[in-house]
A and B are shown apart, each in its own frame.
Chain A
């Protein structure tokens, strides 16, 4: 009986092979060939070009910073949500998914309207005689955009892990003499590691690879690795170099996957 069921995954196996594995192999193929189809390592050396290195380094930095901010913002939030009673939290959790129904580009674009020199926020600040907030077209705006867009991806896995932590673990810690801070550091935090790992992944990867957010909020002045790759494909039209750069990105992604596989064995931290 059981053996029959296994075949149910057949369609997906075919699908995954055709639309996940083969496409990735195509990237590898393009990365190691010239336009004429001859083997070359030259594309990969493009990574060493100073502007690419800079774009990659900046992308890593911005992604790391926004991931950290997301974690710091989301953790208390997830804890508050987890402590609410169930009928409330469902609604609140939906509140976090709800913005996704408004187009991601429009939402990001709206930040332009908010952040601009004469934008909504600055008008309000001026009205209150406060110094203007000048972060549009800077890396700070990009970080804001990343945090804004990817925060729910951090909140939900954390929430899912925290809600599963038996209240008795925390009670036991308190019973054994730990105050709130101690019981958080020694019990809650270590037990939520799977959620942290999967949240970090869910925020870090899209931040690292984005080109839209940097495009919309960076004023075209800030090039992240995503922008470089996008341009290779859509403007410069050098797919071989573009593929090689994607391969580098995948290197970081693989590192992340290994981390996830290590800490999140049961998939309990997964977002949804």
Chain B
């Protein structure tokens, strides 16, 4: 009876722990690209995984950082543990206290503190900073797992070895080291696992073009995780599982076990052998993996020197990866591609200059802010002849934030509107008002960014979405606060998945996403409310500190080629300002879609965001934070 209860309890806990993992494995076989819908069984993501260079590169980075961090921290940590062990009591306490800091400090604090350190010493964020960081938080765990083993070792065996003529070094390696080996190995494994799983600290200390799986996933979260990622994690998981099973089924362990003696000695013996095997097998496989990956990627990287680079910083899922491949093939320039989720996240990174981006794709108002803060370089349009393909009307609109068309080249544009599910909303939708209708409580998705959220409220109130009037803004704020109980979630790109999955009835969304969602779920309809909305333009700009300006211009020119612009339009479904590309769209209904290409009348009350100055920025941020924390 008691046994039965124990078993049930353990089973429940295991279910809790493994439910998400099973979910992920199932998702890796889902043929639909969004996790909101089951589209049938497929194995294609597993095939696609190995062709997805960005994921494979992230995997490789993750593994090599984990391995290097684990090895280095094991060496430093083991040495330190031996040193600490032989210290006087007080010194030992101080050391162990310091050792505890990275473990007990919140990850966020560790991450921030290291970020500030690297900034202060002008260390370029990248592979090195991640590695240093990981060693920093892994070493304490190594020390902690070696220390207890050291305590168990008898000093006399070491002295006996010395007495028998061994040098101290030799005595250590032949007598002491085998004793503490289990601790060293488990410290190594611990460090490896921690490094592998870390997100928060890496989030603060990584640089452009270097992604671990964690940071890659985080930047994908907003947009919906690429199914290849599920496939990868399923593979990783199964690999480890199989390794564990192999180690555990090792007959040597279960058969020869002196089952009768269940004393402490026996226990230690068991643990040792299992850990030892695990500690041997896993690293061996990893070394093979990393070495193989190193040769593969080393060969790839060898194709170009650093002058032939281009560091691009773009919105998540905002370019067809094939376009980058094509560009690399045609020009031999290696593109380092990084993604951001909001303008506000992008801006401080560019401003901090720790990563010298060559090409960034901010939105209208942010471009204005960057111009005001003297962060942008003028584009040499002699290098961008394809600018002729961009419709003049869009160049005209760009003058709102780039008055002389000197700094930016439009990439995409669109509106912000309401996406609604016809099966859940029966009444006609034509006003922002419906977002305050309590009927739709818990079925409304709002944008999780300051300006977009305020734009909705300000427009609804009939004000300009560039208002800096404190009165108007507090009205908008109270409106947003009153809306909060009705809101299911504040999200950015997840609106797409959630609407497709029938999770919500109404969502504020960018027009570009609307086309994709309609394809996946025909019940969805997009509308620009009659009060007007935001007309936005995302354009390419070149930061002043760009190291490869000419490459950036080459890339802009490449993107303005009609066939390339079309490829991107097909992939991201955001309206293209490239009139020549629009002509090439085969599907007539899309070519003439009013969602993708609304007419002038619909845009009559739409405004473009403008940069409102730092004071207004801070005001917006403060008001928004108050909304969020209510």
Contacts and interface: CB of A to CB of B under 8 A. Distances in A.
Interface stretch (B144-152, B326-334, B408-416): B144-152
Contacts of B489: 137, 219-221
Interface string A111-149: 101101110100000000000001001000000000010
A103 interface: yes
A257 to B, nearest CB: 5
A175 interface: no
Given A73-B13, A90-B270, A148-B20, A113 B625 contact: no
**Do most interface residues of chain B lie in helix, strand or loop, or is the interface mixed?**
helix
Interface string B260-303: 00100011001100100000000000000000000000000000
B413 to A, nearest CB: 24
A107 B21 CA distance: 6
A91 B160 CA distance: 36
Contacts of A6: 83, 86-87, 91
B99 interface: yes
A52 B608 CA distance: 32
A199 B201 CA distance: 21
A148 B15 CA distance: 11
B42 interface: no
A95 interface: yes
A94 B277 CA distance: 14
A118 B115 CA distance: 40
B84 interface: yes
B625 A228 contact: yes
Contacts of B80: 8-9, 11-13
A49 to B, nearest CB: 8
Contacts of B21: 99, 102, 107, 110
Contact of B348 (A3, A201, A234): A234
Nearest to A20: B101
The listed residue with most A CB atoms (<10 A of its CB), out of B133, B484, B491, B618, is B491
A118 B503 contact: yes
B537 interface: no
Interface string A209-247: 111100010011101001011110111110100110010
A258 B90 CA distance: 16
Contacts of A101: 193, 196-197, 236-237, 240
Contacts of B241: 98
A23 B113 contact: yes
Interface in A43-102: 50-52, 54-55, 73, 76-77, 80, 85-87, 90-92, 94-102
Contacts of B266: 86
B567 interface: no
Nearest to B143: A12
B191 to A, nearest CB: 10
B564 to A, nearest CB: 32
A253 B108 CA distance: 12
A158 interface: no
B77 interface: yes
B98 interface: yes
B621 interface: yes
Interface string B73-92: 00011011111111100010
B229 A106 contact: yes
Nearest to A217: B489
Contacts of A120: 23
Contacts of A42: none
A118 B502 contact: yes
B112 interface: yes
B117 interface: yes
Interface string A161-181: 000000000000000000000
B10 A15 contact: no
A15 B135 contact: yes
B61 to A, nearest CB: 14
B393 interface: no
Interface stretch (B211-219, B383-391, B467-475, B581-589): B211-219
A10 interface: yes
Nearest to A218: B489
B38 to A, nearest CB: 10
A248 to B, nearest CB: 10
A22 to B, nearest CB: 6
The listed residue with most B CB atoms (<10 A of its CB), out of A4, A7, A116, is A116
Interface stretch (B316-324, B339-347, B357-365): B339-347
A21 interface: yes
Interface in B177-206: 186-187, 190, 193, 196-197, 199-200, 204
A270 B168 contact: no
Give the 7 A-B residue pairs with the shortest CB-CB distance, closest first: A9-B83, A219-B489, A209-B106, A220-B490, A23-B113, A12-B80, A110-B20
Interface of A: 1-13, 15-16, 19-24, 26-27, 30, 50-52, 54-55, 73, 76-77, 80, 85-87, 90-92, 94-111, 113-114, 116-118, 120, 134, 137, 148, 151-152, 201, 205-206, 208-212, 216, 219-221, 223, 226, 228-231, 233-237, 239, 242-243, 246, 249-250, 253, 256-257, 260-261, 267-268, 270, 272
8 contacts: A15-B76, A20-B136, A27-B116, A106-B229, A220-B489, A237-B351, A246-B108, A257-B104
Interface of B: 6, 9-10, 13-14, 16-21, 23-24, 27, 35-36, 76-77, 79-87, 91, 95-102, 104-110, 112-117, 120, 132-133, 135-136, 139, 141, 143-145, 147-148, 168, 186-187, 190, 193, 196-197, 199-200, 204, 213-214, 217-218, 221, 225, 229-230, 233, 236-237, 240-241, 244, 248, 253-254, 257, 262, 266-267, 270-271, 274, 342, 344-345, 347-348, 351, 442, 448, 484, 487-491, 498, 501-503, 618, 621, 625-626, 628-630
